[in-house]
């Protein structure tokens, strides 16, 4: 069974800023018996991220518009594809991650099977707090969407394990 994992890599000061958190959360998902679509968010630098991404989506075009379109299309295909859940780390704002989240929780509107979507954010990490566009998603309106705050990696691991055990 496959889980889509997403998180900000370009909104951070540098790719390495949160790569250890992404790597840890991806390991938590795998520890629970799930495959992860791509692990590129755990890359500590650009080249490592590209290498990890190519393992999932294949050889990419040279850098530029063609590459950006290719990556965007592959990521949307994955979110709308054969996955059982989606997990996002949203402590740092990211337009790309926001698009992936929307595609994940809006799957039923596209006549795709509904999947549970978990968004995690680290308490007090981002000075401006969590985006209104994420905080404004209410479980009453979208019951397969879960927004959880964590204090440390151990707390995040418990949340992920609980989320995945309910699948």
CATH code of the domain containing 45: 3.40.50.2300
CA–CA gap between residue 143 and residue 30 (Å, rounded): 25
Summarize pLDDT for 74-123 with one digit per residue, the tens.
999 999 999 999 999 999 999 999 999 999 999 999 999 999 999 999 99
Q: Residue 145: what pLDDT?
A: 97
**What pLDDT does residue 15 have?**
76
- For the chain, what is the domain count? 1
The whole-number pLDDT of residue 6 equals 96
**pLDDT for residue 152:** 97
| pLDDT the model gives residue 127 | 81
Q: How much is the pLDDT for 156?
A: 98
- Size of the chain, expressed as the number of residues it contains: 167
Structural domain span for residue 22: 2-165
- Residue partners of 41: CB distance under 8 A and separation at least 6: 5, 6, 7, 8, 9, 18, 19, 22, 26, 49, 89
From the DSSP assignment, how many helices (H) and strands (E) are in the chain?
A: 6, 5
User: Which residue positions in the chain have pLDDT lower than 50?
Assistant: none
């Amino acid at each position: 069974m496959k889980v889509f994992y997403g998180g900000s890599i370009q909104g951070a000061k540098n790719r390495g800023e949160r790569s250890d958190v992404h790597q840890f959360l991806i390991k938590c998902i795998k520890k629970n018996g799930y495959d992860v679509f791509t692990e590129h968010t755990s890359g500590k630098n650009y080249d490592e991220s590209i290498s990890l991404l190519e393992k999932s989506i294949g050889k990419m075009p040279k850098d530029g518009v063609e590459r950006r379109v290719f990556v965007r299309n592959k990521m949307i295909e994955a979110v709308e594809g054969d996955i059982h859940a989606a997990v996002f780390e949203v402590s740092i704002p990211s337009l790309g991650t926001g698009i992936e989240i929307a595609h994940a929780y809006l799957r039923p509107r596209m006549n795709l099977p509904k999947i549970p979507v978990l968004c995690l954010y680290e308490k007090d990490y981002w000075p401006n707090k969590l985006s209104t566009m994420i905080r404004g998603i209410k479980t009453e309106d979208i019951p397969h969407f879960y927004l959880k705050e964590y204090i440390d990696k151990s707390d995040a691991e418990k949340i992920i394990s609980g989320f995945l055990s309910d699948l």
